[in-house]
A and B are shown apart, each in its own frame.
Chain A
Amino acid sequence: MLKTFPKGGIHPPENKITSSKGIKRMTVPKVVNVPIAQHIGIPAEIVVDKKDKVEIGQVIAKSGGFVSSNIHAPVAGVVTKLDMIIDTSGYKKQCIVIRTDAKDEANFEEKEYPLKKNIELEPKEILKRISEYGIVGLGGATFPSHVKLNVREDKKIDCLIINGVECEPYLTADHRLMLEKAEEIVVGIKILMFALKIDKAVIGIENNKKDAINLFKNSVKNEVGIEVAALKVKYPQGGEKQLVRSILKREVPKNGLPLDVGVIVHNVGTIFAIYEAIQHNKPLIERVVTVTGKNLENPSNFWVKIGTPIKDLIAEVGGLPEGTRKLVNGGPMMGKAIKNTDVPVTKGTSGILVISEDEASRGEAKNCIRCGECVFVCPMGLEPHLLMNLSEKGLYEKASNEDIMTCIECGSCSYVCPSHRPLLDYIRFGKSIVKKLETSKN
């Protein structure tokens, strides 16, 4: 019997068109726009100036506080300007623009690091390096990893969960990474187990990626304490709380973290970034991005430098097909439409989805017919129709009492609503107001 979470969930069409396409290295972009706010928390502080020469991997923006992260130069070149550029938030944000030095060989070297298994650093050094090398959660939420790993003394962690679920339709970045870097990921897991002194780790993979499951089962055969859990395909299994419930049958308390039930969850991408940082001294300057869409000429997975404008990615897959209506940063369920193709790839960009006219438009919102579908599919056990009404009417206190803040914004409710009601739009809005009210209260 495959494991899964009991409450809610949906089965959107998978559309994983790129799952058989190996990860290609993208042509080095001529210019990169590196936003200083790529992670949750305080934006980093710029430490370079206009006309400065930067080396690849050099720190160009320093962490602005505890919940923040360093940002490194993804290419060697010259800082041409510090500009305001529209990023994935839809607003103009501070960016560091670097023109790639076409003569610098470091930019074009295709370094294939050999697998390095023995861990040389001490646990403290490992955690310090994770913080210095700008590692953030690569699953999409971009939460700085060192904060997650900084476990207070009174909390006891007994299990590390590796998130290889990738329940979002279309995206295959994690899947390909697991297939191509399985050994490295296992070393990465061992690094974290060593640093946190945990003796159990579980890799959670959905059953639609049987090749990855078998591969990992093979590579962890001789490892002590690392298991592979095959999970039933169901969206949003990749959510931390759902994944902990699926694998360990532990219920993360509402408004709590997996930490409260003794678990730390990390995405496979993050684990690989940690491996590279610890074993090969490589900061987080590139990531795997799936560029996909039904009408694309040549959809595929790429190693992309952080800050690459999305138009370069589009050019790599054969340009925008005719009738393109929407570009989404991320997957179709939780991703966000982007405003133009100058938007740079950030640490949180797991995919670029090109959607055509007929798939893109939203149905006209009609009245709620009280069918209860949204309640049925909500993985957090909330009542989305109620939360929407409350935030539409401005009854934020009531919405807060109805646990609006526990919503994980997976979008299952909007997906199933037969009346096409903009449930998540209003819930997100309500959440932002409730958050503001709560902070102003404290």
Chain B
Amino acid sequence: MTDSVLYSVFLLASLGIVAAVVLYVVSKKFYVYENPLIADVDEILPGANCAGCGSPGCKSFAERLVNTEDISDLFCPVGGNDIMKEVAAILGKEVVERDPTVAVLRCQGSCEVRPKTTEYQGPRTCAISAMVYSGETDCQYGCLGDGDCVKVCKFDAMYMDEATGLPVIITDNCTSCGACVEECPRDIIEMRPRNKRDLKVFVGCLNEDKGGIAKKSCSVACIGCSKCEDICPKDAVVMVNNLAYIDPVLCTLCRKCVDVCPTHSIIETNFPPKKVKKEVEKKVEVKVAVVKEQIVAESKKSKTDA
């Protein structure tokens, strides 16, 4: 009986040794050198694999960071400046600090202000309805409301508001990876600087039609009246194709343009209420407050869920 025990012990041991030798030889022979820095950098990166940096995932971004000489034009929008600084410290390279950005929705065309004139029965994705026609409303620039942006968001930073039919961006969750910007067939979502306390002033419309036509299709459309351009002390407003655009770099958030806009198509977010209240302003502020409340409610909800 002891024989059979010895045999099996001996056999298994020798098999193990042979396998070990083979593995050792193979691992030496086919060794692939990888810069250990790549693993270190990969460790620091957020690991969201969101492709916001332009690389398919965090690992390949780490490779790019390690293998590129000048990394000043590479940036991880999710990690932001802190992560990039850490990376720079490990690699001993220079990084450029960037203003944190956040996605904003440049359309206010809710069901109330932008009536539906047709009905679409095909598959509910923005990409297909954009291919088929200009959408259920008469505005061919605004949100299609099928939520492709929400589907593509990996950070739970967006949801569709059923009352308005528009997506809502939860600013706290937004990592500015840019997936929604890429996905939107209408290019409604824009990355704008986050600023202090998330203060933002931007034109919430992309309608390039002439004033009358734009206004007819949506009551909060930019009609291209140029009033905001005239009042802006810093020349931050540019008018292109009957449409105002506020340059976030030049804008000092003075909010003069918000007051003069006759269709309330300029949106301000997170500003404290103004002391002198006019009749017109009330409406705008109520809207902002509602959005704020929703954001707060939603972020609370997501926290409790987590």
**A375 CB to nearest chain B CB (Å):** 20
Given known A92-B134, A340-B117, A422-B122, contact A429–B140 (CB-CB < 8 A): no
Which residues from 204 to 251 on chain B have a C-beta closer than 8 Å to any C-beta of chain A? 209
Given known A92-B140, A362-B121, A425-B122, contact A339–B128 (CB-CB < 8 A): no
Mark each residue of chain B from 152 to 177: 1 if its CB lies under 8 Å from any CB of chain A, else 0: 00000000000000000000000000
- Contacting B118 at CB < 8 Å: which of A84, A89, A339, A365? A339
In the bound assembly, the distance between CA atoms of A428 and B117 in angstroms comes to 24
A429, B127: Cβ atoms closer than 8 Å = yes
In the bound assembly, the distance between CA atoms of A426 and B121 in angstroms comes to 13
B132 is an interface residue with CB less than 8 A from chain A: yes
In the bound assembly, the distance between CA atoms of A90 and B131 in angstroms comes to 9
Report B-chain residues with C-beta under 8 Å of the C-beta of A362.
121-122
In the bound assembly, the distance between CA atoms of A428 and B128 in angstroms comes to 9
Report B-chain residues with C-beta under 8 Å of the C-beta of A337.
133
A428, B118: Cβ atoms closer than 8 Å = no
Given known A91-B140, A92-B140, contact A428–B131 (CB-CB < 8 A): yes
Mark each residue of chain B from 263 to 289: 1 if its CB lies under 8 Å from any CB of chain A, else 0: 000000000000000000000000000
In the bound assembly, the distance between CA atoms of A92 and B134 in angstroms comes to 8
B134, A86: Cβ atoms closer than 8 Å = yes
In the bound assembly, the distance between CA atoms of A89 and B134 in angstroms comes to 8
A432 is an interface residue with CB less than 8 A from chain B: yes
A426, B133: Cβ atoms closer than 8 Å = no
B36 is an interface residue with CB less than 8 A from chain A: no
- Tell me the total A-B contact number using a CB cutoff of 8 A: 38
B134, A426: Cβ atoms closer than 8 Å = no
In the bound assembly, the distance between CA atoms of A86 and B133 in angstroms comes to 10
In the bound assembly, the distance between CA atoms of A365 and B121 in angstroms comes to 10
Which residues from 114 to 130 on chain B have a C-beta closer than 8 Å to any C-beta of chain A? 117-118, 121-123, 127-128
Which residues from 40 to 91 on chain B have a C-beta closer than 8 Å to any C-beta of chain A? none
A401 is an interface residue with CB less than 8 A from chain B: no
**A18 CB to nearest chain B CB (Å):** 26
A361 is an interface residue with CB less than 8 A from chain B: yes
Q: Which residue on B lies nearest to A84, using beta carbons?
A: B209
Report A-chain residues with C-beta under 8 Å of the C-beta of B127.
429
In the bound assembly, the distance between CA atoms of A331 and B197 in angstroms comes to 57
In the bound assembly, the distance between CA atoms of A253 and B249 in angstroms comes to 56
- Contacting A425 at CB < 8 Å: which of B117, B128, B134, B140? B128
Report B-chain residues with C-beta under 8 Å of the C-beta of A91.
133-134, 140
In the bound assembly, the distance between CA atoms of A432 and B140 in angstroms comes to 20
Report A-chain residues with C-beta under 8 Å of the C-beta of B118.
339-340
A425, B123: Cβ atoms closer than 8 Å = yes
A339, B122: Cβ atoms closer than 8 Å = no
A90, B123: Cβ atoms closer than 8 Å = no
Mark each residue of chain A from 93 to 128: 1 if its CB lies under 8 Å from any CB of chain B, else 0: 000000000000000000000000000000000000
Which residues from 326 to 368 on chain A have a C-beta closer than 8 Å to any C-beta of chain B? 336-337, 339-340, 361-362, 365
In the bound assembly, the distance between CA atoms of A365 and B122 in angstroms comes to 10
- Contacting A426 at CB < 8 Å: which of B117, B123, B140, B209? B123
**B114 CB to nearest chain A CB (Å):** 15
**A54 CB to nearest chain B CB (Å):** 24
Report A-chain residues with C-beta under 8 Å of the C-beta of B133.
89-91, 337, 339
In the bound assembly, the distance between CA atoms of A428 and B123 in angstroms comes to 12
Which residues from 406 to 442 on chain A have a C-beta closer than 8 Å to any C-beta of chain B? 422, 425-426, 428-429, 432
A432, B131: Cβ atoms closer than 8 Å = yes
In the bound assembly, the distance between CA atoms of A362 and B119 in angstroms comes to 12
Report B-chain residues with C-beta under 8 Å of the C-beta of A92.
134, 140, 209
Q: Which residue on B lies nearest to A338, using beta carbons?
A: B133
- Contacting A429 at CB < 8 Å: which of B121, B131, B134, B209? B131
Given known A340-B117, A429-B127, contact A90–B122 (CB-CB < 8 A): no
**B103 CB to nearest chain A CB (Å):** 21
Report A-chain residues with C-beta under 8 Å of the C-beta of B134.
86, 90-92, 339
In the bound assembly, the distance between CA atoms of A340 and B116 in angstroms comes to 12
Report B-chain residues with C-beta under 8 Å of the C-beta of A432.
131
- Contacting B123 at CB < 8 Å: which of A84, A336, A361, A422? A422
In the bound assembly, the distance between CA atoms of A394 and B118 in angstroms comes to 28
Q: Which residue on A lies nearest to B122, using beta carbons?
A: A425
In the bound assembly, the distance between CA atoms of A33 and B133 in angstroms comes to 19
Report A-chain residues with C-beta under 8 Å of the C-beta of B132.
90, 336, 425
**A348 CB to nearest chain B CB (Å):** 16
In the bound assembly, the distance between CA atoms of A432 and B118 in angstroms comes to 24
Mark each residue of chain A from 362 to 386: 1 if its CB lies under 8 Å from any CB of chain B, else 0: 1001000000000000000000000
Which residues from 69 to 99 on chain A have a C-beta closer than 8 Å to any C-beta of chain B? 84, 86, 89-92
B140, A365: Cβ atoms closer than 8 Å = no
Report A-chain residues with C-beta under 8 Å of the C-beta of B122.
362, 422, 425
A429, B117: Cβ atoms closer than 8 Å = no
Q: Which residue on B lies nearest to A433, using beta carbons?
A: B127
In the bound assembly, the distance between CA atoms of A316 and B164 in angstroms comes to 40
Report A-chain residues with C-beta under 8 Å of the C-beta of B121.
361-362
Q: Which residue on B lies nearest to A421, using beta carbons?
A: B123
Q: Which residue on B lies nearest to A432, using beta carbons?
A: B131
In the bound assembly, the distance between CA atoms of A151 and B36 in angstroms comes to 62
In the bound assembly, the distance between CA atoms of A288 and B306 in angstroms comes to 64
User: Would you give 10 A-B contacts (Cβ < 8 Å), ordered by A?
Assistant: A84-B209, A86-B134, A89-B133, A90-B132, A90-B133, A339-B133, A422-B122, A425-B122, A425-B128, A428-B128
Task: Return the 6 tightest CB-CB contacts between A and B, nearest first.
Answer: A90-B133, A422-B123, A362-B121, A91-B134, A425-B122, A429-B128
